[in-house]
Amino acid sequence: MREALLSARGVSVRFGGLVAVDEVDLDVHAGELVGVIGPNGAGKTTFFHTLSGVLSPTAGRILVAGEDLTGRAAHVYATHGIARTFQTPRVFKEMSALDNVRFGLEFAGRTRRHAHDAFDEPAAILEFLGLAEVAAVPAGGLTPSRQRLLEIGMALGARPRVLLLDEVAAGLTHAEVDLTAQLIRRVRDELGLAVIWIEHAVRVLMSYVERVAVLHQGRKIADGDPRAVARDPAVIEAYLGDEGEPERRAA
Amino acid sequence: MMTLRDSILATLLAALALSAMPWLLSAFALSLTLTCLMYAGLAVSWAMFCGATNYLSLATAAFFGMGAYVTAWGAEALPYGVAVLLGGLVAAAFAALVGAAVLHLRGAYFAVITFGLGELVRHAITYYEKSYAGTVGRVISAPPEAATIYHTVLLLSALAVVTALAVRASRLGLALRGIGADEERARTLGVNTRRAKVLAFSLSAFFAGALGAAMAMRWTYIDPLSVFNPFIGFQTVLIAMVGGAHTILGPIASAVLFSLLTEFLRLQFPYLFLIMLGFLLILLVLYLPGGLASLFARWRWRKSNA
């Protein structure tokens, strides 16, 4: 069995009496595109925070390519190849779009370059994302959907092995989501990245990923092929109280 | 846009021109120029860290005073140049130590703790001097000539400007700007934010310490209240902010303006000058929040859109 690029083992996060993430296991391998879904408050974003080192888990371990990084600072995760986006885009507003992408390249991306690709140049990354014409524009002046794309560019600049996407489709039109999803697949194929993609909107995600994990009240209740997961009684049950019928929406 | 090399060259040329002043100016004008230079060096080095990161440090007086006391204690034993260097190094080491402990605090907490730090050092030295050395202040018995002190302060301030320019163009500068914009985001992109902050904080403290060490010679008598004077720290922060803390030219221009204005008001209106200065500050902060540098930017913008 190949070693997982990113591995969460029994990860729990407690805020006082509240258990936000409850003993979640997740292994992700190079080249995988994994979706993580769950109703509001299922602990998706908190789980992401632990995977990127933004938050230390209360219990459990995080391994990156076999190396235990539990409790290390976020920049250590970044230099080990974990890059992420945030739910609300957090671009450096005063810096140009180009400098935003260059930022990752100068730090996390500096220590580890891929064997082959055209992504060593910030301009190439902007080009890839279709943002070439706004390279010199301060990031704060871009439209929200472009800021979302730029965030992916910042993460790509960090030369990741694992890309964590937190609701990149939120607020985008259907066509934009489709474009973004194609983009993500292309990066994954070209660079051989592992991608974990969180989305609140189930239907969107199910059609793009090859594997999906479901979080509910902090626990992982399903993990596998999207079609099988959509038929899982436990998953249907979990969604009933929220927005209902993931089955039909996912089909 | 000026390149880094052009800017450094311009700084060195300006410093060269200013180095002739002791032979050209009267003693009064020279002392005024010295004050301008001191505040330019303090404000630029303060902005080097605080302007980019948006951390508000009120510890300048602490670093300045430590440097001054290194000179006061070592004046007999150490050559002047060594004392100045040592003053800077002691302040830098202190800043690194303290920075490692408190630089995870942000905003008002960081400001308050750095201010408290200055008070702590001041009281510690006062206590030590009274209890063990049996003195209130210190007289520096054989200070160097006024021109030597002037040249030292000029050199330090020019070095502060060159360092600020180099930092701004470096990866450290980019890291600091990232920290100022969104510290957690910078961390997730691989910046060791703690190391970058401690390094820059300590670098900026070096200049405050060295300037304190040099200026102590100028005053010939120092006591804790005069060299740890919070006014020095506040004045530095205000000068940098009024000038535009994210720029380098802004704080320099504002240091000159402030020093001349303070002197003028002090001479013309000895009883009203602090009131007038305070009033002026309120006006500036209210109507020019981006600092003097924003005036220049606005002018350039208007020109390019004309």
Q: What is the rounded average pLDDT of the residues A63-74?
A: 94
Contacts of A158 in chain B (CB under 8 A): 189-190
Q: Which amino acid is at B31?
A: S
If one compares A174 and A195, the residue with the highest pLDDT of the two is: A195
What domain range is B175 assigned to?
Answer: 4-230
pLDDT for A249 equals 47
Contact B131, B78 (CB under 8 A): no
Q: Which of B178, B184, B194 sits opposite A103 (nearest CB)?
A: B178
Instruction: Using the structure block, give the residue that is written with the tokens 């200049």.
Output: B207
User: Rounded CA gap, B182 and A54, in Å?
Assistant: 13
Cβ distance A157 to B182 less than 8 Å, yes or no, reads no
How far is B191 from chain A, CA to nearest CA, in Å?
Answer: 6
pTM of the prediction? 0.90
Contact B223, B47 (CB under 8 A): no
Cβ–Cβ contact A113 with B under 8 A: no
Residue A28 tokens, joined = 């992700």
pLDDT tens figures, B121-166: 999 999 999 998 888 888 888 888 999 999 999 999 999 999 999 9
Q: Which amino acid is at A34?
A: V
pLDDT tens figures, B210-219: 999 999 999 8
Is pLDDT at A250 greater than 50 in this prediction?
no
User: Rounded CA gap, B174 and B155, in Å?
Assistant: 26
The answer to whether residue B264 is domain-embedded is no
Q: Which of B171, B181, B193 sits opposite A92 (nearest CB)?
A: B181
The answer to whether residue B255 is domain-embedded is no
Phi, psi values for residue A242, rounded to 5°? -100, -90
Nearest CA in chain A to B52: A94
Which is it for the CA torsion B125, B130, B134, B139, positive or negative?
positive
Cβ–Cβ contact B244 with A under 8 A: no
pLDDT tens figures, A108-130: 988 765 555 667 889 999 998 99
Nearest CA in chain A to B171: A106
How far is B195 from chain A, CA to nearest CA, in Å?
Answer: 11
**A positions 156-215 inside 8 Å of B (CB):** 157-158
pLDDT for B257 equals 92
> In A12-169, which residue ranges form alpha helices assigned H by DSSP?
44-51, 74-79, 97-106, 108-111, 122-129, 144-157
pLDDT tens figures, B223-255: 998 899 888 888 899 899 888 889 999 999 999
The answer to whether residue B24 is domain-embedded is yes
Cβ–Cβ contact A110 with B under 8 A: yes
Cβ distance B191 to A92 less than 8 Å, yes or no, reads no
User: Rounded CA gap, A194 and A33, in Å?
Assistant: 6
Asked if the A1-72+194-251 domain carries CATH number 3.30.565.10, the reply is no
Mutation target vs A (from B54, B170, B184, B189; most A CBs, 10 A cutoff): B189
How far is A81 from chain B, CA to nearest CA, in Å?
Answer: 9
Nearest CA in chain B to A140: B181
Contact B190, A158 (CB under 8 A): yes
Number of residues that this document lists for chain A: 251
The answer to whether residue B283 is domain-embedded is no
Task: Say how many domains are in chain B.
Answer: 1
The answer to whether residue B76 is domain-embedded is yes
CB pairs under 8 A between A and B: 65
Nearest CA in chain A to B246: A94
Q: How far apart are the first and last CA of chain A?
A: 32
